[in-house]
Structure 1
Amino acid sequence: MACRISELILECADPERLAAFWCEVLGYVEIGREDDGGIEIGPPDVGFGGPQPTIILSPGDVPPATKPRLHIDVNPTDRDQAAELERLLALGARPADVGQTGAEDWHVLADPEGNVFCLLRARVRPV
């Protein structure tokens, strides 16, 4: 038997704002609220335990200024990378510099609170 990732927890200053951002990025919906003000989001009509992990936006400290040890990678599902980059920037993502050379075939971005994530080139099928 093996484990599988069921949830990702992201500490943030404004769970409402980040939940809205990541719901738009991933096509997720709000599936629950935590007593501490956290918001759980996940795929519509699936929720916890489905093939994709849910994300809990948990109230917490501002992320450290150093490069995080873990980040999220996303792939476009219904458009090419350039069109998806344009969409993500319109949602509030911004380019981030983590020391990349510029020759990479992915884009490093930050969400509205500065959490780094990457937009990869390959298009994947929606789940």
Structure 2
Amino acid sequence: MACRISELVLDCVDPERLAVFWAGVLGYVEVGREPDGGIELGPPGTGFGGPQPTLILSPSSDPRPAKLPLHLDVNPTDRDQDAELERLLALGARPADVGQTGEENWHVLQDPEGNVFCLLHARISPVGPGTV
């Protein structure tokens, strides 16, 4: 037996604002709301338990933005890295400096609340309903 990542939880000040951002980045939709104001996003038509983990934006008055021990990496699926970078910046991402040399083939970015994530170079296939 093994475990599988089913959800990623991101503490944030404004779940509504980050839901718009991350839904746009990942192509996710709202799949649920928590009683505490948290918002769960997931792939359209699958949601929790599907082939991809859902993202829960959990309200917190003390989130720790910037470089955390764990961060998200995203890859473009339908365009090259440069075009995807432009799209993410238009959604509200900002470049982040965490000590990279400039020789990396990925971009370090921040979401609108300062949470760091990376846009990787490789273009990967999208995951659709029924895909494992």
Name the TM-score, length of structure 1 as normaliser.
Answer: 0.97
**2:130 maps to what in 1?**
none
Matched, 1:99 2:95: no
Using a 3 Å threshold, how does the CA distance of structure 1 residues 66 and 122 change in structure 2: closer, same or farther? closer
SS of equivalent to 2:124 = coil
SS of equivalent to 1:21 = helix
SS of equivalent to 2:86 = helix
Mark the runs of 5 or more structure 2 residues left unpaired by the alignment: 128-132
Alpha-carbon shift at residue 104 of structure 1 (Å): 0.2
**1:89 maps to what in 2?**
89
Percent of pairs with identical residues:
78
Alpha-carbon shift at residue 67 of structure 1 (Å): 2.4
Deviates most, 20-29 or 62-71: 62-71
CA RMSD of aligned residues (A): 1.0
> Quick one: distance in 1 between partners of 2:66 and 2:120?
22
- List, as ranges, runs of 4+ consecutive aligned residues in structure 1 with deviation greater than 4 Å: none
Q: How does 1:47-126 map to 2 (within 5 A)?
A: 47-64=47-64, 67-126=67-126
Alpha-carbon shift at residue 63 of structure 1 (Å): 3.3
> Quick one: distance in 2 between partners of 1:34 and 1:63?
18
SS of equivalent to 1:56 = strand
SS of equivalent to 1:83 = helix
SS of equivalent to 1:8 = strand
Mark the runs of 5 or more structure 1 residues left unpaired by the alignment: none
Contact 1:21 1:92 in 2 (8 A): yes
Task: Provide Cα deviations, 1:56-75, integer angstroms capped at 9, x if missing partner.
Answer: 00001343366200000000
